Structure 1
């Protein structure tokens, strides 16, 4: 099952995608794994790679100071990180555990509608150290071309620098994705670059 649209998907088409989507299409033991995944050679990373998942990671500076962090958090909450001409999520979609959302991506002529579900939302703040973070993970549902999970987060470190991070693990879940997986991996990296630009632009805006 693949959700295609020849024109930009309407709210009704997005809702239809989510209504027809099944349950998570990756192993239950990995649901929420991006919340605790470390990029060191730990057992989680090794097991993911053993099971055929490819880990994708991007972490870029987008600003500095509490105001920049607050704007970065707002950017994620309003899906500004998907505010691209060729990729979007309904900005009214709430970032809450259990909420399903539809990622719409234009590939050549058709648009792809890919269903996911928020599997966790994490927020931390330490007034003494200035360290703060906000992020959430989305897991793929049946009907998505890939299987896996992706975390989007913003973090202010002890030097008050604000970072935007994307961390994911994925593998093909459909013959189309198997055939074109090298291209998919390139698009993931391209999305990370453009998504960072979108967040940085929003953070620096008045």
Structure 2
């Protein structure tokens, strides 16, 4: 897909993740049963989870689909960090719903991130975030080892937000 700032498009769908990047894989329980999966999948694929977590999202479409442009931003005023992405894959199966998006030119990182809700055999529903990334701008290079710490905290915040949305 043109415009991505890394060559391993769709890499969050496969294992192992591409070498040469920081890898992130977090799994968080969010509830039980098909209704929770459906609600979680809806919140993920409509970007509601991100918005409810306090992230500003601008997208070319109301729902994640391959090719949809998304700009994720955090912060305020001159301290707002903008991250342009493109949805590179989606999944909408009986037991898995979600998408992965990739960083475009101008994103502070190179790489991809995926957000998936999954109904497991025991009826539990889990939220999984898988990512590979490396710095693409001076600000993320300077932040160095703090970037993965921030990413994990943000993912856990997304998980708490999704748990609330999926169970209300």
- What is the DSSP-based 3-state SS (H/G/I as helix, E as strand, rest coil) of the residue aligned with 2:126? strand
User: Is the strand fraction higher in 1 or 2?
Assistant: 2
- Contact 2:49–2:165 (CA<8 Å) still a contact in 1? no
Which structure 2 residues correspond to residues 1-206 of structure 1 after superposition, within 5 A?
23-27=3-7, 30-37=8-15, 44-45=16-17, 48-49=18-19, 51=20, 53-82=21-50, 83-85=52-54, 87-90=55-58, 93-106=62-75, 110-125=79-94, 132-205=95-168
Name the SS for the 2:5 alignment partner.
coil
Tell me the C-alpha RMSD between the 2 structures: 1.8
Look at both structures and tell me which one has the larger radius of gyration over its CA atoms: 1
Query: How many residue pairs get matched?
Result: 165
Conserved? CA contact 1:80–1:198, under 8 Å: no
* Residue 109 of structure 1: how far off its partner (Å): 5.9
Alpha-carbon displacement from aligned partner over 1:107-147 (angstroms, at most 9, x marks no partner): 7961111100000111222xxxxxx1012110000000100
| Aligned equivalents of 1:171, 1:158: Cα separation in 2 | 34
Contact conserved, 2:37 with 2:117, CA < 8 A, in 1?
A: yes
Q: Tell whether the 8 Å contact from 1:59 to 1:166 is kept in structure 2 after alignment.
A: yes
Structure 2: runs of 5+ lacking an equivalent = none
Using the size of structure 2 for normalisation, the TM-score is: 0.91
Q: Which runs of 5+ in 1 are unaligned?
A: 1-21, 38-43, 126-131
Question: TM-score, structure 1 length as denominator?
Answer: 0.75
* Structure 1 contact 145–174 (Cα < 8 Å) conserved: yes
For the residue of structure 2 that corresponds to 1:63, the secondary structure is strand
